[in-house]
Structure 1
Amino acid sequence: MAEEGLWYVVHTYSGYENKVAQNLETLVENRRLHDLIQEVKVPTEIVPEIKDGVKREVERKLFPGYVLVKMVMTDDSWYVVRNTRGVTGFVGPSSKPIPLTQAEVDALGVETHEAQVDYKVGDNVEVTAGPLEGFIGLVEEIDMEKQKVKVKVSMFGRETSAELDLSQVKPL
């Protein structure tokens, strides 16, 4: 079983993020380094942009000049990443790479964890987090792609629908 890698932040020349990610993936493929360098990401977001009076959705880099790499840190993996064209170094004090903490990884939304759903539409669930914590609700809809669940709760004598993360509810 291969060792689980940690996420590191790699600094690149501005505008070279996608090229660096592509070069790294090619190197991993060619040198069969899958167990050392497990994932390469350039975090992006979709934002609306108005150009010439036309609104359209564009993909924008969240951290220009940076690439996230999930890897097992060894002399070999460090050397491969450090010497990839366009890479200027790892983020960390005195060129010593420091992995992201699990809290940082979660906050960045780099890894998506598939939530286990052991309830179905029509089941009663308890809300375990957020402003509705402690409420009991009826599952109306489950969206696995967005990792959301729509729950109808009774508040102040009224039925109210709320969209929650799958991790915010548990079956009764």
Structure 2
Amino acid sequence: MCHVEYIIKTNQKEAAYVEDDEKWYVIYTRTGDELKVKRLIELLFCKLKRKSIRVLIPKRAIIERKGKNRVEKIKSLFPGYVFIKTCMSYELYNDIKRLPRFLKFLKDEAEPAEVREEEIKIILSLVGDSDIVGFSTGIKIGGKVKIIDGPLKGFEGLIEKIDKRKGRVKVRLNVSGNANLVDLGIHIVEELDNGEFNKLSEVS
């Protein structure tokens, strides 16, 4: 638990913050530099300065075709996004902004913007303990697919498009007011007359 009051200046206004708990924020960097930024934060702040910062890079597992073979790949769920959970202060804010490869914090009226609790809960429930969104399973019901197992179970309302041929679903996730349409993998099965399931397709 911490209690810090600080002021951050933006081009438009000054914003005063009083933090009583650790909050989630998003650092935006170049796509492909996410892991480098994570390692810098863990080395410079967590290890050397003994700061309490949790760094999260949500990832997704997908299957891609490579010739005749199918290869599992791990890719960033939000390219360019590095999530951090910390008790923000003016000093820490400025130290992070000096990092190599740092571009900016995501912001709303003032910088940095907190990730809303309902948004981070969805992301954390999807990635679980591994920080990776694994595969979900869906049943073909008529012309639709119902998600019955895996990280997407219970989040059918967020699914905007289902591609049964490729075995993928597009899910809309919001982060600090920014809508992100992400592509996730599902295994699709068809219910048989005897109650068993027959796999139709996998991610391709």
For the aligned pair, the TM-score class normalised by the smaller chain equals 0.5 to 0.7
| Matched ranges for 1:64-83 at <5 A | 64-83=79-98
In structure 1, how many angstroms separate the alpha carbons of the residues matched to 2:106 and 2:29? Answer: 10
Instruction: Give the TM-score of the pair, scaled to structure 2.
Output: 0.50
SS at match of 1:45: strand
More off after superposition, 83-92 vs 94-103: 94-103
Does residue 19 in structure 1 map to residue 30 in structure 2?
Answer: no
Match 1:9 to one of 5, 26, 31: 26
Match 2:124 to one of 104, 109, 131: 109
One-letter identity of the residue aligned with 1:51: K
Q: Is the 8 A contact 1:89 1:95 kept in 2?
A: no
| Matched ranges for 1:18-167 at <5 A | 18-28=35-45, 29-34=47-52, 38-93=53-108, 96-109=111-124
Which 4+ residue blocks in structure 1 deviate beyond 4 angstroms?
A: 110-113
Max radius of gyration: which structure?
1
Q: Deviations over 1:14-65 (max 9, x none)?
A: 210110011111012111112xxx2001110111111122112110100111
Q: Is the 8 A contact 1:8 1:99 kept in 2?
A: yes
In structure 2, how many angstroms separate the alpha carbons of the residues matched to 1:24 and 1:95? Answer: 23
In structure 2, how many angstroms separate the alpha carbons of the residues matched to 1:59 and 1:11? Answer: 20
In structure 2, how many angstroms separate the alpha carbons of the residues matched to 1:86 and 1:49? Answer: 29
Number of matched pairs: 112
Q: Which runs of 5+ in 2 are unaligned?
A: 3-19, 130-153, 155-194, 196-204
Residue 137 of structure 1 corresponds to: none
In structure 2, how many angstroms separate the alpha carbons of the residues matched to 1:52 and 1:73? Answer: 48
Q: 1:94 to 1:13 in 2, by over 3 A?
A: farther
SS at match of 2:31: coil
Q: Is the 8 A contact 1:15 1:64 kept in 2?
A: yes
In structure 2, how many angstroms separate the alpha carbons of the residues matched to 1:87 and 1:10? Answer: 7
TM-superposed CA distance for 1:112, in Å, is: 5.1
Provide the identity percentage. Answer: 26
Q: Please identify which structure carries the higher strand content.
A: 2
Q: Is the 8 A contact 1:71 1:77 kept in 2?
A: no
